[in-house]
Amino acid sequence: MFSKEEAKTGKKPFWLKVKLPSHQNFFFVQDILKKHNLNTICQSAKCPNIARCWTQKTATFLILGDTCTRHCAFCAVKKDIPSPLSAQEPAEVAEAVVSLDLFYAVITSVTRDDLSDGGASHFAQTIKAIKERKPEAKVEVLIPDFEGNEEALEAILEARPEVVNHNLETVEAIYPQIQRPKENYERSLRILQKLKARKAITKSGIMVGLGENEEQILQTFADLRSVSCDLLTIGQYLQPTRENVPICKYYKPQEFQQLKTEALHLGFKDVASGPLVRSSFEAHKLYRTFLKTKEN
């Protein structure tokens, strides 16, 4: 096991090494995104899976601009005063989904506390635009908390995405460390509970390596299951820049497998758990597993 001291040296274990992009599909996706003037969380959050996913001709679209109004200490997304929304963005995302021939599209956003509905109506327009242009496509949205605005959640649900994801990000005790009020943890659980009450397929995710312990992780799993969260992702926190909160521990692949086993035992329908797992990692597979569990 890597100790905290080893983690602070910045030396990453071999299982976190990724290949540089070289496949033509990567550059095809890059060109499509440029053509439609679109952002992705793959780029903005410095995702280590960008070469892998774009080579498979898939990407996670980032809407509501590229600038966040919050200052979470773990995130690489730009933080400043955001630009006005682009009225063309929903249609451009839909066109990119068609160009990439995506059968499963994942849409996320920056947090926009400057907007009265947090950008929920823009989310809804994007979902609807995709379904109009490519009716067979399934849509998963990874939403911010909209400051707990229930009307915003209703707008999302009325657009009928297949999966609604809202991340807890980490255990409750670590929230102050990542510059999030501790009460936001309970707010996020309430959001997932309200979504489930409306029969949504719900999903959440956490990072590990920020200083949490096993008991806290298992409590977080239990908290998510207390609101009937269906799907879960567990991934390694990687410090994206020197300005972000430092990493405390690298978890081994076998530890991620153990966490997956524990989570499945609690009743999650499926769990993606691994060093490079992120919120949208193989999202279509988790969705398909959920459907199979409903059939059985």
**pLDDT tens track for 76-106:** 888 999 999 999 999 999 999 999 999 999 9
* Contact present, 122 and 90 (Cβ < 8 Å): yes
* Contact present, 64 and 126 (Cβ < 8 Å): no
Which pLDDT score is estimated for 27?
87
**Euclidean distance between CA atoms 16 and 237, whole angstroms:** 11
Which pLDDT score is estimated for 196?
97
Q: Which two tokens stand for residue 2?
A: 């890597």
Q: Which two tokens stand for residue 94?
A: 């839909």
**Euclidean distance between CA atoms 247 and 200, whole angstroms:** 34
**pLDDT, tens only, 266-288:** 999 999 999 999 999 899 999 99
Q: Which two tokens stand for residue 37?
A: 């003037």
Q: Which residues of the chain have pLDDT under 70?
A: 1-10, 20-22, 296
pTM of the model: 0.93
Domains and CATH numbers, the chain: 18-161 (no CATH), 168-296 (3.30.750.200)
